[in-house]
Homo-oligomer: A and B are copies of this chain.
Amino acid sequence: MKRITIYDVAKEADVSLATVSRVINDSNVVREDTKQRVQEAIEKLGYKPNAIAQGLALSKTTTVSIVMSEKLFAYNGKILNGLMDVAKIYNYNIMFHTTSKGISKMQDVIESIIKSHVDGVILFNDNFSEDEMEVLQEYQIPMVVVGSQLAETGIDNVGNVYVNFEQMAYDMVNQLFDKGITDISLVEDKLNLSMMAQLRSGIEKAFTKKGLEFKKYISYDDTYKSSYNFLTDYFKSHKPSQFVFTFRDSQAIALLNTCQEAGYKIPDDCQMVCILNNKYLSMTRPNISTFNIPEYDMGAVSMRLLTKMLVDDDSIKNKDSKQIELGYSFIPKGTTN
């Protein structure tokens, strides 16, 4: 079946293709009755403009790329929802790219982004290097990074929507100090290393201010099973810290389960908090304390920012206006007191 083109519509409505083009683009110069005729023809033939041809003619694809790690679907679902919803509002299509562990996979993604001529890119943190951002920059592709705060770079046309994890950790540790708690651990999450770095930095700042040194940045294979096995073994010869920061649900739950199975009372013997919130933290006994991070909003704001960058909105001309920090709040549950 040959697809209906603008020519077919033009013939049917007995006008030129330019006129058809005008009505589908809402030009107001076209007379009302011919507009009618054209629209009837479009309806009758079931014409749908070819986005590829439009893209070529306009050098604009109304498509944006989203790049995220393939391990993180489950955790970034809400951010994705925010992104998709706003993209839908602005009629942007989404090209979806995943990066895997393998060497230089991000290169391939960038290659296909460039070839595809997408209008903009959303990058999830922890997937790329500064070099890779620079490549995108060379091609003048607007991009926004969602997740954690970017380090200062020479790159200036990049948006950034983030939560201040450093502050989060800093404040919480200070509160712990006030309660006399100084035996504090941070469990590494290998899937979110940039966020880890910021949490660690926040903790270290608080320690330094207090005249202490932070030593318990703990790293082990952090799937649930590995964590569980490691910690089960660990607690045979060690006590848990007074307070433990974990990042993902699996890590928190592994800690909770192993602690309890080792005979420790939660939160009396060990308090813990899981940075990323989700429903699973409410399925344990006790429920795990966490933070309310505006994930959906992070996605929605990111996409909205990107659309503004795509139309060169005046309100985001300078660099600072593209750095958007979103708030968060602590949700105390059963693993802290």
A1 at the interface (CB under 8 A from B): yes
A309 at the interface (CB under 8 A from B): no
Check B279 against A50 for contact (C-beta < 8 Å): no
Complex copy number for this chain: 2
Check B50 against A117 for contact (C-beta < 8 Å): yes
A328 at the interface (CB under 8 A from B): no
A238 at the interface (CB under 8 A from B): no
Are A112 and B93 CB-contacts (below 8 A) given A50-B117, A117-B52, A283-B257?
yes
Residues of chain B lying within 8 A (CB to CB) of residue A73: 73-74, 76-77, 80-81
The interface bits of chain A over 56-93 (1 if a CB of B lies within 8 angstroms of the residue's CB, else 0) are: 10000101001000100110110011001100100001
> Quick one: closest B residue to A114, CB to CB?
B48
> Quick one: closest B residue to A140, CB to CB?
B1
A49 at the interface (CB under 8 A from B): yes
Are A93 and B116 CB-contacts (below 8 A) given A3-B139, A108-B88, A280-B280?
yes
Residues of chain B lying within 8 A (CB to CB) of residue A139: 1, 3
Check A56 against B66 for contact (C-beta < 8 Å): no
Check A115 against B48 for contact (C-beta < 8 Å): yes
CA distance A140 to B2 in the complex (A): 10
Stretch of A95-103, A203-211, A266-274, A310-318 contacting B (4+ beta carbons < 8 Å): A95-103
Q: Chain A binding site: helix, strand, loop or mixed by DSSP?
A: helix
CA distance A97 to B66 in the complex (A): 12
- Tell me, rounded to whole Å, the shortest Cβ–Cβ distance linking A226 to chain B: 11
Residues of chain B lying within 8 A (CB to CB) of residue A177: none
Residues of chain B lying within 8 A (CB to CB) of residue A74: 73-74, 77
The interface bits of chain A over 122-139 (1 if a CB of B lies within 8 angstroms of the residue's CB, else 0) are: 000000000000000011
Residues of chain B lying within 8 A (CB to CB) of residue A235: none
A250 at the interface (CB under 8 A from B): yes
CA distance A50 to B70 in the complex (A): 26
Residues of chain B lying within 8 A (CB to CB) of residue A76: 73
A55 at the interface (CB under 8 A from B): yes
Within 8 A of B (CB), among A135-153: 138-140
22 sample A-B contacts, Cβ–Cβ < 8 Å, listed by A number: A1-B138, A48-B111, A50-B56, A51-B116, A52-B56, A52-B61, A52-B117, A53-B56, A56-B56, A70-B81, A70-B84, A73-B77, A80-B98, A81-B98, A88-B108, A95-B95, A95-B96, A223-B279, A224-B279, A224-B283, A280-B280, A283-B284
A73-B80, A257-B285 known; 14 other A-B pairs, CB under 8 Å?
A48-B111, A48-B115, A50-B115, A52-B55, A74-B74, A74-B77, A88-B108, A94-B95, A95-B95, A225-B279, A253-B283, A254-B283, A257-B283, A280-B283
Q: A-side interface residues toward B, CB under 8 Å?
A: 1, 3, 48-53, 55-56, 61, 63, 66, 70, 73-74, 76-77, 80-81, 84-85, 88, 93-98, 100, 108, 111-112, 114-117, 138-140, 223-225, 250, 253-254, 257, 279-280, 282-285
